[in-house]
Amino acid sequence: MRTERGRRGAMAAERKVTITAIAREAGVSVPTVSRVVNGRSDVAPETRAKVEELLRQYGYRRRTHAPGDRAALLDLVFNDLDSPWAVEIIRGVEEVAHSSGIGTVVSAIHDRAGAARQWMTNLRARASDGVILVTSVLEPLLHNELHRLGVPIVVVDPAGAPALSAPTVGATNWAGGLAATEHLIQLGHRRIGFIAGPPRLLCSRARLDGYRAALESAGLPLDEELEVPGDFYHESGFHGCRQLMRLTDPPTAVFAASDQMAMGAIEALRQRGLRVPQDISVVGFDDLPEMRWSAPPLTTVRQPLAEMGKVAARTVLRQARGEEIDSPRVELATELVVRASTAAPAR
């Protein structure tokens, strides 16, 4: 095996392995090799065997695509692949794409211009049929290039002002923020802390506004002290919560704009010797699968991540086919999932 692989490598280097080269070597015509490569049935078993053997030895790879069977591909682009978040979206996109015979190319561009450039070049080479950008703030330059290429784009969880005229698929972040806060109010909480997401993201703003709206419509005062910054990651939830608990009049409930921050908040509370939910309630946002099993199971706002991926995939595929799209701006419903991290306030 080792040697064979080595041999193949050497051969591949010597000359370009084309269907023509294989045909010559096998002593058959080019069309015959073509048939074998395409798995057609009308080839004599011995011929097929001989050609297949050669194909394998030389490490033959098709160099052009048959007209029509163009590589059916869809690009799914994340900034980072570092959250349990990502896999949910991948799952949704993959499911839809796969069943349409389309491959899902997953990339992470890490907000670095170089990586984005490189990705763009790759995209061009692989002639992707569509692009799904997740929370991505691709530079306008690349956006324009994409547009020029005529590749359909859809943006999932749009980060800021809608890029170009690309359709977007999001979640009802505002409604989710509202529902979470109303839930706490209903339980009897009057002072509710909020740990925010990165302010540059649209979804962060929406969740914050939902929180405020719930407070206001319940006739509760907005207290700036109760709104602390965060970045969606665990650590910032931990510190945000500590900041809230140091207040002279600390909240009896905390709404964190992400599950990971909620977990950080719970950790901070535990270190202070406070029990959740007996002493203080905590609500998260996302409903990552693990939250069902956290201790205590987390009350949170469910984002239909996989569903968002599916809708995005369907939308980009329809665009690729030149079909009309129903609506350029979709927001899928969030849903409050009440579990065990919330209760009526202590007193």
- Interface residues for DNA in 20-49 (CB under 7 A)? 20, 27-32, 34-35, 37-38, 41-48
- What mask, x for binding DNA by CB under 7 A, covers residues 61 to 100? -xxx-xx---------------------------------
Site for a second copy in 317-336 (CB under 8 A): 319, 321-325, 328
According to CB under 8 A, which one of 27, 44, 113, 118 is a site residue for a second copy?
118
Which of DNA, a second copy, none does residue 35 bind (CB under 5 to 8 Å by kind)?
A: DNA
- Of 9 and 31, which CB lies nearer to DNA in the complex structure? 31
What is the rounded (10 degree) CA torsion for 179, 282, 157, 89?
-110
Cβ contact 220:190 at 8 Å: yes
82 binds a second copy (CB under 8 A): yes
State the minimum distance, in angstroms, from the CB of residue 218 to a second copy.
32
274 binds a second copy (CB under 8 A): no
157 binds a second copy (CB under 8 A): no
CB atoms within 10 A of CB 255: 34
148 binds a second copy (CB under 8 A): yes
- Of 18 and 83, which CB lies nearer to DNA in the complex structure? 18
- What mask, x for binding a second copy by CB under 8 A, covers residues 97 to 116? -xx-xxxxxxxx------x-
Q: What's the half-sphere exposure (Cβ side, CA atoms, 13 Å) at 331?
A: 13
Which of a second copy, DNA, none does residue 41 bind (CB under 5 to 8 Å by kind)?
A: DNA
324 binds DNA (CB under 7 A): no
State the minimum distance, in angstroms, from the CB of residue 202 to a second copy.
21
Site for a second copy in 283-302 (CB under 8 A): 289-290, 292-295
Site for a second copy in 1-20 (CB under 8 A): 1-2, 5-6, 8-10, 12-13
59 binds DNA (CB under 7 A): no
- Of 84 and 198, which CB lies nearer to a second copy in the complex structure? 84
133 burial level (CB within 10 Å; 0-12, 13-18, 19+): buried
Site for a second copy in 215-254 (CB under 8 A): 234
150 binds DNA (CB under 7 A): no
Contact residues for DNA (CB under 7 A)? 16, 18-20, 27-32, 34-35, 37-38, 41-48, 62-64, 66-67
